[in-house]
Amino acid sequence: MKRLASIAFATAIALSLQGCSGWQSALDPKGPAASELAWLIWFFTGLCAVVWVLVMVALAMPLMMRSRQRAEPLVLDAGADNRKLRVVMTAVGLTAVILVGLTLVSFFANRTLAAIGSDVALTIRVTGHQWWWEVRYEDATPSRILTTANEIHIPAGEPVRLLLTSTDVIHSFWVPSLSGKLDLIPGHMNVLDIKADKPGVYRGQCAEFCGAQHANMGTFVIAEPRAKFDAWWNDQLQPAAAPMSDEAKAGENLFLKRPCVMCHKIGGTPAGGTVAPDLTHVASRQTLAAGTLTMSRGNLAAWIADPQGVKPGSHMPVVDLSGDELNAIVAYLEGLK
């Protein structure tokens, strides 16, 4: 068993070294909440490992000792049993003390987490959909309210409040390197405060099983310096860029004539659907289909031509397009920076 334990341990170490570069890892914290939680995870793990080793030692003891097998099952040594009783009672007492301690540690960690959002300036409403995220930036000025999808830009170093809800099934918002997860439940509104210490891109994904494409419901939190963030917001408020080439113009026309327009919105055009992601600045995003594909001309074409092949079960229908039509629409969307 010792050998096994050491093998398991060595494997664990080797594997954890390999994966620490992960950008979606609870052990790679990039914000105050995740840091607190990573500390908590290591503390609990360390303590639990000690307890486990002690129990294994206690289990191995009778096997190590070269004592004889008992002959008379009912003849017991009362003195020895009394000593054992004391040992067992002590162990139970220690267990209770450790558990009370862990309860308190966890309680105070919870308070630390709650304090992160004491001074929020920015509120973002995140609504879960099968299988993408609607992201709406709240502002006192209605014209500054901004709706986008799947990528959440935040100013680095500032706490941000996320209001989480859903319009269909239950989802869960989880960006492990920033914070623990919280569910998006239809009919409920949950509040999650996050903060990124430094600029960077932090990946997350839906953590509550939500149907066929639960596996492909990724999101990115993009933390930027305040000035860059403000500039981004202002850019996103602009209507969609007018198509530059003839092909792109044809693409816009096709987009508005074909079923695309039924679901998607493109600011500045008649397209006003709200059941699918807002495409006003779709080309400015890093990925397509909620983190399923990276943003590129080829992937845009693949996603439009065969959404059920890329993301089987997704609510994006196959629209019958000729090759030229597909190229035109892709050219148009590609220009929507």
Partner 1 sequence: MSSADLTSERDLPPEREASAKGDVAPERDGPRDTGMDDASLHRWLTRTWRTPPGIIGALSSVDHKVIARRYLITAFLFLCLGGLNAVVMRIQLSGPRRGLIGPDLYNQLFTMHGVTMMFLFAVPIVQATGIYLVPLMVGTRNIAFPRLNAFSYWVYVSGGLFAWVSFALSMAPDVGWFAYVPLSGPEYGPGKRADVWAQMITYTEVSSLAVAVATIVTIFKQRAPGMSLDKIPLYVWSLLVTSFVVVFAMPAVMITSTFLILDRLVGTHIFNPAEGGDALLFQHLFWFFGHPEVYIIFLPATGMVSAIIPAFARRPVFGHLGLVLSLIAVGFLSFGLWVHHMFATGLPKLGASFFTASSMMIAIPNGVQIFCWLATLWDGRPVIRTPLLFVFGFFFIFVIGGLTGVMLASVPLDLQVHDTYFVVAHFHYVLIGGAVFPLLGAAYFWFPKITGRMMSERLGRWHFWLALIGFNAAFFPMHIVGLWGMPRRVYTYPAELGWGNINLFITAGAVLFFLSFVLFAFNLIHGALKGAPAGDNPWDAGTLEWATSSPPPSYNFARIPVVTNVEPLWAEPQALPVATGLRADVRELLISTVAEAHPDIREKSATPSIWPLLAAIAVGGTFLYSIFTPWAIVWGAAPIAVTLIGWFWPKGDPEDEE
* Residues within window 145-164 making contact with partner 1, judged by CB under 8 A: 164
Sequential DSSP letters for 187-223: T--EEEEE--SSSEEEEEE--S--STTGGG-EEEEEE
8 A C-beta contact, residue 225 and residue 155? yes
Under rule CB under 8 A, residue 127 binds partner 1 = no
Contacts of 196 (CB under 8 A, 6+ apart): 30, 31, 154, 156, 157, 178, 202, 221, 223
CB of 42 to partner 1, least distance (A): 10
* 185 interacts with partner 1 by CB under 8 A: yes
Residue choice 66, 119, 227, 323 for contact with partner 1 (CB under 8 A): 66
Q: Which stretch binds partner 1 (CB under 8 A): 22-30, 146-154, 228-236, 243-251?
A: 22-30
Write the CB contacts of 183 (distance below 8 Å, at least 6 apart in sequence): 164, 170, 171, 172, 173, 190, 208
CA distance 307 to 304: 6
User: Is 191 near partner 1 (CB under 8 A)?
Assistant: yes
17 binds partner 1, rule: CB under 8 A: no
| Stretch in the footprint of partner 1 (CB under 8 A) among 105-113, 239-247, 257-265, 296-304 | 105-113
Distance in angstroms (rounded) separating the CA atoms of residues 260 and 182 = 32
Task: Supply the minimum distance, in Å, between the C-beta of residue 105 and partner 1.
Answer: 8
Per rule CB under 8 A, is residue 35 in the interface with partner 1?
no
Sketch the per residue contact string, 263 through 292, with partner 1: x for CB under 8 A, - otherwise. Answer: ----------------------------x-
Determine if 328 is a binding residue for partner 1 (CB under 8 A). no
Question: Which token pair is 266?
Answer: 């493109």
Q: Which residues from 194-253 bind partner 1, rule CB under 8 A? A: 203, 205-216, 218
Q: Which stretch binds partner 1 (CB under 8 A): 31-39, 225-233, 245-253, 325-333?
A: 31-39
CB atoms within 10 A of CB 334: 17
